Structure 1
């Protein structure tokens, strides 16, 4: 099936889907016509990127992924992304707010807490299935721009797309009773407050040995290393996408003394915080379309068309 996408240069394609649906689509080519995508940007919503033509590279949380037709990327809220694609690279981009799926999907593992894979190279029936779902979502985002029925349709279509992704080979949905997943979710809540494995284990009702064994089985790294990895990643994100003083970033991550933060970062990242920041480009803001509820004064319930990134 031929992929149905929005025509490049069509300004109406940049307008969001119904604001109360929290779902929108756009092409990478359209975004590149308005923004410099080579800078690091931090996402405040979920972003799926389905490459349709060309070859290039995307970075998610500073990890590069080679892209070609059929490559599917998933960027979760809070993660950072940088586009290093060639001139011929294009993709369909699907954006949604977490609440858009929560309202129609009872399984919290659908969004996997950010623990699932970030990249797939689709092929065969899996590729056809995902392309069909994305294509229909693109069409309906353009056809159905207002009303509660339209919002429900888009949310359910998005949930079906995510279920298909959950069934892709090599992707095990996160199970809340899994010790490693529970540990990761607890760390996500409080890694800026404590880096002690004992505190997390006690909170979970497990022994430190059980938590460490679960982390080693899942990642090959100890529980303490998993915590330090998360702190380091957050430091890298903040250094790349903010102009905050390095000392302030250290304090936010639980290091009252700047020298302690500098030593920790150098040990974990292999470079100083200042050198890492210097290697990153300033991020353009709001590079992906934001979804908002339409103004109350619109008697027909239609959102006012906006260009992606408009405040």
Structure 2
């Protein structure tokens, strides 16, 4: 249930349990459940870091941006910064959890993987399960080294190995581009995260990135199957849905936060993309 007069989705910052200034940590779901009240885990919240969860025991579900994902041993989840998520029945499952900041991966190519619109859930089969589980264990081992001997460079490269292994997992997504296309799309995603609340113009994003709209759109279609304008509007709608579902902020205020000076225009935009009104969407989510 949403707390009375809650106007923001609760946000969690990256704070490793041992307080070491390293942008990666490996814990268990049991550790997290022991440190965070179950009510908080079961309520919508979002983090400013990446969360990779490999389920090792039990069954349950995890909701990520309104989609509930059934979890069982061998399920892999990836919650990206800013995504609204929550556990259903926290404590009924356990698993290995890799937490890492957006700037910890070692190079721009790997960083691009962390921001890509991608599947948030996989059911791993051998040998992928063994390879990913082993890499997580290797990260945990190196992360546990004494502070004065911690191999940060090795940790970065082990994370790169983990992310590249995940990138190779089958997703049913046939949209794969070359390196140049992938890099441009990653830069577009980063710019979109910075600016979606202030502009919905594909021309603006293309100009900021130094490309034509045609080139930007080509990279977006190659990566996702959708043009740039579609992705821009979808990002605004997603944020609107998060705020409508998980906060008590007035609809007009949400519209203004997303760049709509006229509440009626916000309502028309939302209805055009979702076939429902902001108020009706909120009512359905509160049932």
Aligned length: 264
Shift of 1:97: 1.6
Using a 3 Å threshold, how does the CA distance of structure 1 residues 249 and 219 change in structure 2: closer, same or farther?
Answer: same
Q: C-alpha distance in 1, partners of 2:274/2:110?
A: 30
Q: Is the 8 A contact 2:198 2:258 kept in 1?
A: yes
**Match in the other structure for 1:56:** 60
After superposition, where does 1:98-113 map in structure 2 within 5 Å?
98-101=102-105, 105-113=106-114
TM-score of the two chains, using structure 1 as the length reference: 0.71
Alignment-derived partner of residue 17 in structure 2: 16
Displacement after TM superposition at 1:242 (Å): 4.2
1:68 equivalenced with 2:72 (yes/no): yes
Q: 1:123, 1:215 → 2: CA distance?
A: 30
State the 1:230 CA deviation: 0.9
Task: Please tell me whether residue 35 in structure 1 is matched to residue 38 in structure 2.
Answer: yes
Q: Does 1:256 align with 2:258?
A: no
Whole-Å separation in 1 of the counterparts to 2:104 and 2:186: 23
Distance 1:185 1:151 in 2: 25
Deviation at 1:223, TM superposition (A): 3.2
- Taking the aligned partners of 2:91 and 2:207, their CA distance within structure 1 comes to 52
- Structure 2: state its 5+ residue gaps: 1-14
Residues 46 and 253 (structure 1), Cα distance of their counterparts in 2 relative to 1, 3 Å cut:
same
Cα displacement string for residues 247-266 of structure 1 (whole angstroms, at most 9, x for unaligned residues): 22211211011222122223
Structure-to-structure mapping, 1:266-305, within 5 angstroms: 266-277=271-282
Match of 1:137 in 2: 139
Higher helix share: 2
* Counterpart Cα distance in 2 of 1:180 and 1:136: 31
Q: 1:220 to 1:98 in 2, by over 3 A?
A: closer
Please tell me the root mean square deviation across aligned C-alpha atoms, in Å. 3.2
1:291 is matched with which residue? Answer: none
Q: CA deviation at 1:162?
A: 2.3
The answer to whether the 8 Å contact 2:62/2:88 transfers is yes
1:42 CA displacement: 0.9
In 2: Cα distance, 1:138 partner to 1:112 partner: 21
Mapped partners of 2:225, 2:104: distance in 1:
34
Q: What are structure 1's unaligned runs of at least 5 residues?
A: 1-13, 282-311
Contact 1:110–1:163 (Cα < 8 Å) also in 2: no
SS of the residue aligned with 1:79? coil
Q: Which whole-Å CA distance do the structure 1 matches of 2:178 and 2:42 have between them? A: 32
